[in-house]
Amino acid sequence: MNQKFFLLILISLVSLPSTQAFAQQPAPSASPTASPTKTPEHAVEKDVDNTVDPVVALREQIDAAPSASEGNRLRLKLADLLLNSGKQTEALAELNGIANSGSFDPVGFYNLGNFFARLGESEAAISAYKTAIEQRKGYYSRAYNNLGVMLLRAGRWDEAHDALLSALKIESFHYAEASYNLGRVYAARGQHDLAVREWQRALTVDPKHDAAKQALAHVGTEETIVVRKASNRSAEPRPAKMPAAAPKTAPAVAPASKALVLDPASYNYLQRARSASERGKTQEAVENYQRVLKLEDGYFPPANLELSYVLLSLKRYDEALNNLLEVSKRDGAKYPISYFHLARLYELKGELKLAEASFSQAANSSVTNNGQFLLDLSRVREKLGDFKGSLEAMERYLKVMQQQGLKPVWSDERMAELRTKAAKQ
């Protein structure tokens, strides 16, 4: 198949926010099932009164603003004016003023996140989106979507998955952009059949979603799960009830040479497990993943990998470790996320040498450099006293971030600290 295509999907993560990646629509209402309301989320305005100094005029308007939300809107307008005048430091001061204001203004914080994202200030954008979500008591699908995009670009795939799934749940799985972005997360993690499912869901909701169309057009059969035409296994269960627009059954076709192939009963158990996991029914998910593995002689990589995630959420670490070990040994290059979770478990257990080895495998096996893998590798090497190795990983991390225009504000201080430690080693 088209491994190059999934590389392109990953490379696309490095671009600055676009209308395909970030939601700019109105915010949803405070109901988990309601459609988005008409609440305006203001784009940063660029018009100013040319009869006076525009900066002075805006500052006067900010001082006289009747509400925190109106003041924040004007401060975003002022930041945009300062930025366009080449005064980035002053612009950031205005933005940070909003971020630290403590005002109740979820729409303002959403727009602040968009502004920070535009500037490449990823951590500040993530923080702003989280504030907007908290102020809406978790019911802010557009902010969850944009948060997911920023986390995806930072290589924080698991957090991105959770944010995008939250956006979909709020909109009853009828949110095309969140489905498209969740598909990108699955593609990054090597879960290509789930990526296909989400892109199909996006097109069901929005048949004109060009990015989802393009993604599906490049998918080959080896990236999907197909069902054997016949099976001598036990009677298959009734098909699982999946969220809206998700396929309930896979086509019964002759297996492609590289396709993941499942017995019909196993396939339906897999869909039941996935549906239960998405709905937060973790024990039901565990039981159905285990049924898949029992029918598949203990190994089917998507099931082992997804089961490990559920087990981690239940703090059943030893069981999760066993499943991750199986995937990493047999298909680690295809699923580098297995190395990553192994490393985190080893670090949790205090086995730092094993954690360092697994983080290193995750970083070196990924189709594209993952910043989070490298950041964790640097941290663990520092714990081990390997300051030169920690510095090397941090340098690789910063190179990845700079290629994306996402250089963290704390990076210079961190690099100076590691250089000092490495020089003494």
Amino acid at the residue 70: E
What gap in Å lies between CA 279 and CA 194, rounded to an integer? 16
For 119-154, b where at least 16 C-beta lie within 10 A, e where not — what string?
Answer: bbbbebbbbbbbbbbebbeebbbbbbbbbbbbbbbb
Chain centre distance of CA 149: 6
Contact 227, 251 (CB under 8 A): yes
Per domain, the residue ranges of the chain are 3-185
Q: Mind listing the pLDDT tens digit of every residue in the chain (425 residues)?
A: 444 444 444 444 433 344 344 554 443 333 333 333 334 454 444 444 455 688 888 888 888 888 888 888 888 888 888 888 888 888 888 888 888 988 999 999 999 999 998 887 888 999 999 999 999 999 999 999 999 999 998 888 889 999 999 999 999 999 999 999 999 999 888 888 899 999 999 999 999 999 999 988 887 654 578 787 654 554 445 544 445 444 444 444 444 446 788 889 999 999 999 999 988 899 999 999 999 999 999 999 999 999 999 999 999 999 999 999 999 999 998 888 999 999 999 999 999 999 999 999 999 886 666 888 999 999 999 999 999 999 999 999 998 888 877 777 788 889 999 999 999 88
What gap in Å lies between CA 91 and CA 81, rounded to an integer? 8
Which pLDDT does position 258 carry in this prediction? 63
Helix (H), strand (E) counts: the chain: 20, 2
What gap in Å lies between CA 376 and CA 348, rounded to an integer? 13
Q: Taking the model in full, what pTM does it have?
A: 0.74
- The radius of gyration computed from the CA coordinates of the chain, to the nearest angstrom, equals 23
Q: To which CATH superfamily is domain 3-185 assigned?
A: Tetratricopeptide repeat domain (1.25.40.10)
